[in-house]
Amino acid sequence: MKTKSLKLALSFILVMIVSCDEPETVVTDIVHPDGSVTRRIEMKNIENKFETDNIQVPFDSTWIVKDSLEIVDSKDTIWVKRAEKLFRNVDELNQAYVADSGGNRGIPRRAEFNRTFKWFNTEYRFAEIIDKHIENGYPVSDFLNKEELKWFYSPESVIKEKAQGPDSLKYKALDDTVTNKTDMWTFKCLVSEWTAEFLKLTEGKAGNDFTKESLKAREDELVKLLERDEDHLDSLWDNGIILQQFLGEENGKKFRIEADSAASIAANKVFFNFDNYTVRIIMPGKLIGTNGFADSTGILLWPVKSDYFISDSYEMWAESKTPNRWAWVVTGIFLLFVLAGIVFRAVRK
Amino acid sequence: MPGRRLEKCCKNISEMDTNKYNSVIKILRRSKPVMTGTDKIEERVLNEIQLPRKKQVEGFTLFDYLFGWVYIGWIRKSLITVSFSLIALFIYQQLLILKRIDMLENQTSAAGGQFVRMNQADPYNIITTDNLARLRLKTGRMAFDKRQLEEMMNSYNEMEHKYKDLIRIIEDDPELKKLLEEKLSENNKKKFNL
């Protein structure tokens, strides 16, 4: 089996990620009370080149499309493709996700819609969910505190605006802290996934005395080794030094191929190819809850980045309610009727 | 003497009348009238007698029908319990919604700036049917963020400035001016033809 260093694998994947020709995309889901969803996609690109393979969300010829050439704030001209389609329900939207042949194909995404009748009000819940990409990772909340988590999930423009506005030093420091901590988290996820893959590949092989518990307990040790030798990671991994330090000289040599393969698989899982985009949701009625960013007009926004669903599912949800006027009237009449009955009884007495 | 005779005469006459009267009455009593439609008369009389009572009974039935349940203990108690439950449910739901909206507003104020800017740069995304409804255009009211308004004013000023620049450039360049005038007159002709 061809050996490949961890860093080389990571570099290759990263190069693959940045070299894509994907447009800047904003997806707006307009949720209707009957559960249908009007989806609008706005794609911006410096060229009039919008290949279906590069578009971040499901898109095909059945969409109503409008192209235009626009001038942005920086006086540059950009091509904008706007597409719109009505999905009768979330199942239809989910089918589109399953059949997606775009830039993010293979990433399990789905939408959920719930309508709950609560007599005086009807409540709606709409969610876009992206399932976690690795099974053996750690939640990012184990590494970041509340404020750091908020920063981590903030849209890019909020981060930029805060970093350039008042208290910029404070926000720059916060940004650095979050970057360092998320690097550590990514490392930990990578090691955890490597451990699981390594166990799978070495299972049943002669001289294998590794157990899940023993390797899991030593994950921090491997992370420290990788961190310590970060600058020479390539050569140290290629020469099997890190592996020998971690598994012992004999095991390091014996399971070298399995370790390299596990590293490659883990790296592919953690540093997967995903084109970022932005999701916006417009709910029916009055907005009552969300985990996204909302403005005074009730438009909600979530950035969608690969980091958000490495080890946790990323759920973008919003809840709203519409009053059931008829229920209010029926209740009013009923209360009046009961009150009149009580008054009638008192008069008759 | 003649007075006595007259008195006696009158007495005789009255006696005779009385006798006649009595005999007529006797004859009338003997000959009873033949009654036709006795059933109808009876029904009419009965109706006339019973009418006020019927009216009273009808009034009582309507109220009794509507509020008869107040005399049945378990129905009365159940309906009162349901009423209180509905009131409690209403209060609970409204309080819960107010609490959630309050939480949401705090969340909004923390991140509001970002979206105003995004919307401003992207009119297509603001002007959607749903957003228009949200902005309450139907009622003649529109909710504007202060920042959004400021950016709109800045944008307007910038546009006005550019417009002045454009006019100056055209004025300074006779060829450009001539070309534009020709284009404008062509456009006007087209409009006229239409």
User: pLDDT tens for residues B140-173?
Assistant: 445 556 667 777 777 887 787 778 788 888 888 8
Taken in order A53, A56, A58, A60, the sign of the CA dihedral is negative
What separation in angstroms does the CA of A85 have from each of A114, A201, A303?
21, 46, 21
Q: Is B36 on the interface with A (CB under 8 A)?
A: no
What is the structure's pLDDT at B112? 40
Nearest CA in chain B to A285: B134
Please answer yes or no on whether B118 and A157 come within 8 Å at the CB atom: yes
User: Do B137 and B171 have their domain in common?
Assistant: no
Same domain, B140 and B178: no
Of B63, B111, B124, nearest to A344 by CB-CB distance is B63
Give percent above pLDDT 70 in chain B: 65
Q: Could you tell me if residue B59 is inside a domain?
A: no
Q: Do the domain assignments include residue B94?
A: yes
Q: Do the domain assignments include residue B47?
A: no
Among B93, B117, B124, beta carbon nearest to A118: B93
Give the DSSP letter string of A183-248: HHHHHHHHHHHHHHHHHHHHTT-TT----HHHHHHTHHHHHHHHHHTGGGHHHHHHTTHHHHHHH-
Q: How far, in Å, CA of B184 to CA of A263, rounded?
A: 69
Q: How far is B184 from chain A (nearest CA, A)?
A: 24
Tokens of A329: 């009237």
The answer to whether residue B128 neighbours chain A at the CB level (below 8 Å) is yes
* B138 and B174 co-located in one domain: no
User: Do residues B160 and B129 share a domain?
Assistant: no
Residues of B in contact with A26 (CB under 8 A): 122, 125
Residue B151 domain-assigned? Answer: no
User: Would you state the pLDDT for residue A242?
Assistant: 85
- Is 50 exceeded by the pLDDT of residue B138? no
Q: A297 and B80: CB-CB below 8 Å?
A: no
User: Residue A87 corresponds to which tokens in the numbers above?
Assistant: 């999905």
**Residue A19 in contact with partner chain B when CB distance is under 8 A:** no
**Residue B26 confidence (pLDDT) above 70:** yes
Strand duo A300-304 + A109-118: pairing:
unpaired
- Spatial distance between the Cα atoms of B171 and B180, rounded to a whole number of angstroms: 11
The pLDDT score that the predictor gives to residue B68 is: 86
Name the CA dihedral angle for A70, A75, A78, A80, rounded to a multiple of 10 degrees.
-40
Spatial distance between the Cα atoms of B70 and A343, rounded to a whole number of angstroms: 10
Q: Is A280 exposed, middle or buried (0-12, 13-18, 19+ CB in 10 A)?
A: buried
Number of domains in chain B: 3
Judge: B118–A301 Cβ closer than 8 Å, yes or no. Answer: yes
A:278-307 residues touching chain B, CB 8 A cutoff: 280, 282, 284, 286-290, 293-299, 301
Instruction: Give the per-residue pLDDT at A35.
Output: 95
Please tell me which residue of chain B has the smallest CA distance to A161.
B114
CB-based contact (8 Å) between B112 and chain A? yes
- Report the distance separating Cα B84 and Cα B194, nearest Å: 70
Query: Taking each helix axis from N to C terminus, what angle separates B73-121 and B146-172, rounded to the nearest 10 degrees?
Result: 30
| Closest A-chain CA to B155 | A73
Q: Which of A161, A294, A297 sits opposite B104 (nearest CB)?
A: A294
**A196 neighbors A222 (Cβ within 8 angstroms):** no
- Please report the sign of the dihedral spanned by the C-alpha atoms of residue A12, residue A18, residue A19, residue A25: positive
Q: Are residues B167 and B131 in the same domain?
A: no
CA nearest to A120, candidates A324, A330, A334: A324
The span from the CA of A326 to the CA of A198, in Å, is: 62
Backbone phi, then psi, for A128, in 5-degree steps?
-110, 125
**b/e for B139-153, b at 16 or more Cβ within 10 A?**
eeeeeebeebeebee
Domain region containing B14: 1-30
> Which residue among B69, B93, B101 sits closest to A341, beta carbon to beta carbon?
B69
In this structure, are residues A210 and A202 in contact, taking their beta carbons and an 8 Å threshold? yes
Whether B79 and A341 lie within 8 Å, measured CB to CB: yes
Helix (H) or strand (E) holding B112: helix B73-121
Q: What is the pLDDT of residue A8?
A: 46
B135/B85 same-domain check: yes
> Do residue A286 and residue B143 have CB atoms under 8 angstroms apart?
no
pLDDT at B93 over 90: yes
ipTM for the complex shown: 0.75
Tell me the pLDDT of chain A (349 aa) as tens digits. 333 444 444 544 444 444 456 788 999 999 999 999 999 999 988 888 888 888 899 998 899 998 888 877 677 788 899 999 999 999 999 999 999 998 898 899 999 999 999 999 999 999 999 999 999 899 999 999 989 998 999 888 788 888 888 888 899 999 999 999 998 999 899 999 999 999 888 887 777 777 888 888 888 888 888 888 777 877 888 888 888 888 888 888 888 888 899 988 998 989 888 999 999 999 999 989 999 887 656 578 899 999 999 999 999 999 999 999 999 999 999 999 999 999 988 887 7
DSSP B17-51: HHHHHHHHHHHHHHS------HHHHHHHHHHHHHH
Q: Is A320 helix (H, G, I), strand (E, B) or coil?
A: strand
Q: CB neighbours (10 Å) of residue B168?
A: 10
Q: Is the pLDDT score of B120 beyond 50?
A: no
pLDDT at residue B111 is higher than 50: no
Task: Find the CB nearest B135 among A73, A297, A335.
Answer: A297
User: Does residue B135 sit in the same domain as residue B76?
Assistant: yes
By CB neighbour count within 10 A (0-12 exposed, 13-18 middle, 19+ buried), where does A241 fall?
middle
Does residue B65 lie in a domain region? no
What pLDDT, on a 0 to 100 scale, did the predictor assign at position A313? 93
Whether B115 contacts chain A with CB within 8 A: yes
At residue A39, the pLDDT reads 96
Q: What is the pLDDT of residue A91?
A: 96
Kindly give the residue spans of alpha helices, DSSP state H, lying in chain A. 6-18, 90-98, 146-152, 156-164, 168-202, 212-217, 219-228, 233-238, 241-247, 249-254, 256-270, 325-348
Residues B118 and B139 in one domain: yes
> Is there a domain that residue B51 lies in?
no
Q: Is residue B179 part of a domain?
A: yes
Contact call for A342 and B70, based on CB within 8 A: yes
Q: pLDDT at residue B53 above 50?
A: yes
pLDDT of the residue at B58? 57
Among A37, A27, A32, which residue's Cα sits nearest to residue A87? A37
What does each C-alpha distance from A259 to A209, A239, A253, A264, B33 come to in angstroms? 15, 12, 10, 9, 133
